[in-house]
Every structure is written in structure tokens, then in C-alpha cells.
Chain A
Amino acid sequence: MDPARRQSVVDFALQEGAMVSVEAVTRARVLDRLRLGDAAFRHLTRAAAFGVLLLLSGVIIALIQGSLPALRAFGLGFLTTDRWNPVTENFGALAPIYGTLVTSSIAMLIAVPVGLMIAFFLTELCPQWLRRPIGIAIELLAGIPSIIYGIWGLFIFAPFLQETLQPFLINTLGNVPVIAPLFSGPPYGIGILTAGLILAIMVLPFVTSISRDVFEAVPPVLKEAAYGVGCTTWEVVRYVVLPYARVGVIGGVMLGLGRALGETMAVTFVIGNAHRISSSLLAPGTTISATIANEFTEAVGDLYTSSLIALGLILFVITFIVLAVARYMLLRIERRIG
């Protein structure tokens, strides 16, 4: 309260007599204090909101600063070479970038169709009483920490693949002319393919729950109209629901992709951490996050550490773009639904 107005309150109180005036002065003081607290609280919340912005810029600045020595030493060549030699301090990011992209692609190739089909089942076919339990089960799958997927992948899934799927792939697809190199070499169990498959399981719940939400948001009258002209359930989903929900589904897929790209622990356990680009999907490889997790604490020398931070910067830039696109898509569908 500005002093002049407070004065007028006090003046008014004084006209009423001395007894009230004491009360009025206290009241003015209390009001003043409340006003101060009000302003303080508002600025505090505003500062916290700015803090969130600062956090993101802090992450970017810290990563750029940390990766400067490596970027200065290797320049843009850092992105295009696959050497990774801690002894001669010669580093290039191509192998981890390649591994990250390939494992994430495998994951999306599997998770997107399966996730869409689960969403189809949940919204169109599933009996009402089963929808919630199945939905919760899928979401619990998303809640399992990645290290659990890692330990499970290393001890259970990788040996299983080594004995079953991988020999099968080598014996069948390994003989098909064009794609044979993808499935050559011995079945290690661990490797790019295994990491991709585990990522697929981890990403599945994300794709499923967002697709289900956007499928549910399709206006019933559209579906009813399609059923009315004689469409089968599948045709309704394929030609009415999917086109209507497309933007949202793409948003969900990008969100899942963002997770797959940055996933660390599950991949670290099963990828084999080999800095090379091999044509075979069955061979060990590495990803950006797995390289950082495996080597950061053991990195000796500034250039080594800096190269790992530069890897982190690349990962952050890639996921930032993917996530920004995802959010933009989801925002668009939210606006349309209103």
C-alpha cells in the first residue's frame, strides 16, 4: 500500500476516535505485511519458473563448455571418424552415433506397430472391465527402472537370443543375398540387435499409452458413421481413427524415440561396448550413452573426458530436436481436441 493511501486509512480511523485508531493502525500494518508477503511469494514463484529455464540453459552451457577442448582438437571431424583410441588420445564419435541410431531404429520398428496394435485392442476390442487392468499393466512396464531391464537383458534375454533367435537369423536371413551381411558372424548374445530389442520393450509402453489416449479422443460420431456405412472394425481403425489421430501418434512415437536415443543403463549392459561399426546387427557395438556410462569414471586426461562430454552434447542436441518435434505434434492435437 502506498503511504498516501495508508495515511488516509489512518485519518479516517482517527475521525472515529482514539480507541479505534489504535486498531486501525495495527490493521494497516497487518495489511502492509500481507501485501509484502504476497509480492514476495509471487516473485518467488516467478523466480522458480525462471529457474526451470536456467536449468536447461545451464545444461547446454555446461555441456558446450566441457566439450570445447575436444571440439577444438578434432573440429567437425569428431562427427565423421570412428577412431576411438584413449592411448593416442584420438577420438571420433561416429561409432557411438551409428550405434545409437541403429538401436533406436530397431526399437521403433518393433515398438510402433506393436504399440499401435495394443492401442487398437484397448480402444476397440477389449471388454470394458479389462481395459483398466491392461492399461495399468502396460504403464507399469514403463515404470520399471532401466537398470532392471539391463540386468534382465544380460542374464536372461541375451543368452536366450544367443541360443534361439540369433542362430535362426544367421541360418535363414543370413543366406538371403542383399541383407546377408546384416546377419553374419557368430551369435554373441549381446550386441546391437539385443540392445535394440530391449529398447523396443522399454519404448512400447510410451507408444501404447499415447496412441491409446489419442485414439480415445477420436469423436465417437466419426466411428459410428463409419460403422453405419458398413465398415469392419479394422477398416474403422485404419481409415478413420488412424488418420484422425495421426499427429498425436507421431508425437507419441517421437517421445518414445527420445527415450530410446537417451536410454543408458539397459543398453550399457547388453551392447558389448565395442567402438567399431560392423555391418552385422549381431555384432557388439556401442551407443553414445553406453560409452559415457562405461568410460567416464575411468577416463584419464582432459581430452578423453572432454570427448565424452562432447558425446553427451551430441546426444542432448539430437534428443532435444526429437523431443521438441514430439511436443509440438502433441500440442497440435491437444489444441484440436480442445
Chain B
Amino acid sequence: MTARYAARRRSNAVAMALALAATLFGIGWLILILGVLLWKGLSGLTPAVFTQMTPPPGSSGGLLNPIVGSLILTVLAVAVGTPIGVLAGTYMAEYGRYDRLTSVVRFINDILLSAPSIVVGLFIYEVMVAPMGHFSGLAGGVALAVIVIPVVVRTTEDMLTLVPNALREAATSIGLPRSVSITRICYRAARAGMVTGVLLAVARISGETAPLLFTSLNNQFWSTNLNAPISSLPVVIFQFALSPYKDWQSLAWTGALIITLAVLALSITARSLVGSSKHS
């Protein structure tokens, strides 16, 4: 009996040690990746990065055009994706909470949420780039919007579902039409959560590379023309990192650091907005 008890205690101790080791292992990667990024990227993080264009190989330069390009694409994606996502989420939480349509849309939306982003790139290539005959910033923005929509749908639905029914009943009892009670009462009550959804979506798309590779392509020069290929930070990192030139590679590290800091800042802001309430 005592031998058996000792064996049980031993396996318990081993399992607990393994669990601790696994946790250290997981956190170790985060520290390792962030550490390397800071070490490699920080030295290149000078004002020139934000004021100069991407250089030809062998000379110095910055990342101005990809940064501006990324900002334009992100704004475009949010402008296209947010209204659609919010409206669809509104339908699911307000009008059709117990509909068959809602459960189907929820299922499909969850699949879109984790669908491979490169497939989105192929889709936009087929429906926009091929018919238009050329790569364009517009196509890149729409491709990112396709990624924004499911994120916003999901958070909008979740957050509106959390709004207490008493608010809706009160609004209806003073004679407000449904649409007014939704836009003026429910949206206001769920605002923090809905903003969080948009922030999470922005965090998600700011590092997306695959859908941009064959939609917005890349541009070595200054361009804000949405009808032409436009430069973006992730694609430039991809191109520069795989190049044999040292100064291009170090710019890629700096770009990677900028993206990571932006993404981390966005997700921490989003997290603090919703406080301790959990949703993924």
C-alpha cells in the first residue's frame, strides 16, 4: 500500500513538474521572440525610417511608403468591413436571435474567422484583380475587409447579446421604434465591446501578408493611388527579409518591430477596454 502511495505521489510530482516546464516553455518563446525583435530592430529604429522611402539595395532609406500604404489599406478595410460586420452582428443579436438564419450565419462566420488568409487573397484575385486586369490598393483593402468582417460580426453579436433586455423594454415602452432603440440605446451600451472588436480586427490585419501578396502587390515608390499597386509593411518585410542585402534585411527587422509593437499595443488596449470580461 505504501509503495503504491509513493508511486502515485511520484507521478503526481512528475506531472506537476512537467506542467510547470510546459508553461515556462510557452512563455519562453514569447520572451525569446520579443527579445530578438527588440535587439535586431531597435538599432534601426531612427527618424529616417518614418521620413524616407524604401531604398534600392545598397543605400540607406526608410519605410515611409510602406507605413503609409499599410495605414491606407487598414483604413480602407475598416471602412468597408466594419459597417457590414456591425449590421450583420446586429441582425444576429437583435432581430433574429433565435432564427435558423442566425445559427447558420454564426457557423459560417466562425469558419471565415479561421479560414486561411491566403485563400482570401486568391478569392479577391479572382473577383477583383483578374477582371480589372491589374493589381490595386483597392483590391488589397477589400481583401483585408474580408478578414475584418468576421471579427466584427462575432464581437458585435457577443456584445449586443450582453446588453440587458430591460434596456430594450424600457426603450420600447416609451415608444421608440426598434431601429432607434438599437442604434441609440443598445449600440451605446455595447460600445466599448464593439470598439474592442474593431481594434482586434485592426490588430489582426496589420500583420496580414498573405492576402496582400497578389492583391495590392507592392510598390517601390511613393503612391497613394488606390487604383495602382500600393506598398505595405508586411509585404515589404517579406521581400526585404528574403533578399540577400544586409541593409534590406535590417530594415525588415525594423519593420517587424514596428508591426509587433503596433499589434501588441492594439491588443492590450482592446483588452483593457473590456476589462476582465472574457471573449476570444
Residues of A within 8 A of B (CB): 34-35, 37-38, 40-42, 44-53, 55-56, 58-59, 62-63, 65-66, 113-115, 117-118, 120-122, 124-126, 134, 136-141, 143-152, 154-156, 201, 204-205, 208-210, 213, 232-235, 237-238, 255, 258-259, 261-265, 268-269, 289, 292-293, 296-297, 308-309, 312, 315-316, 319-320, 323-324, 327
Distance (whole angstroms) from the CB of B156 to the closest CB of chain A: 10
Rounded to whole angstroms, the CA-CA distance of A146 and B126 in the bound complex is 24
Which residue of A52, A152, A263, A293 is within 8 Å of B109 (Cβ)? A52
| 15 more CB-based (< 8 A) A-B contacts, given A55-B149, A324-B107 | A35-B177, A40-B179, A45-B88, A49-B96, A49-B101, A52-B150, A53-B105, A117-B18, A117-B23, A118-B26, A141-B29, A147-B234, A148-B256, A208-B26, A320-B111
What would 21 A/B residue contacts be, using CB atoms closer than 8 Å? A38-B177, A45-B87, A45-B91, A46-B96, A63-B126, A65-B126, A120-B15, A138-B30, A143-B264, A146-B209, A148-B207, A151-B256, A154-B242, A210-B280, A235-B12, A258-B114, A262-B115, A296-B213, A315-B116, A316-B119, A319-B116
Given contacts A42-B95, A44-B87, contact A117 B263 (CB under 8 A): no
Q: Give the B interface residue count (CB, 8 A).
A: 90
Question: Does the CB pair B111–A118 fall under 8 Å?
Answer: no
List the 5 shortest-distance A-B pairs measured between CB atoms, nearest first: A145-B207, A262-B116, A48-B87, A117-B22, A45-B91
**CB-CB under 8 A for A149 and B33, given A208-B26, A255-B114, A315-B119:** yes
Instruction: For the complex, give the distance between the alpha carbons of A293 and B208 in Å.
Output: 13
**Is residue B267 contacting chain A, with contact meaning CB distance below 8 A?**
yes
Do A143 and B263 touch across chains, with their CB atoms under 8 A apart? Answer: yes
Q: Are B209 and A264 in contact (CB under 8 A)?
A: yes
B110 interface contact, C-beta 8 A: yes
Bound-complex Cα distance A148 to B104 (A):
35
Which residues of B, 107-155, contact A by the 8 Å Cβ criterion? 107-112, 114-120, 122-123, 125-127, 146, 149-150, 153
Tell me the smallest distance from the CB of B64 to a CB of chain A, in Å: 19
**Do residues A53 and B234 form an inter-chain contact, with CB atoms below 8 A?**
no
Nearest-Cβ distance from residue B187 to partner chain A, whole angstroms? 12
CA separation between A115 and B22, bound complex, in Å? Answer: 8
Cross-chain contact B30 with A45 (CB below 8 angstroms): no
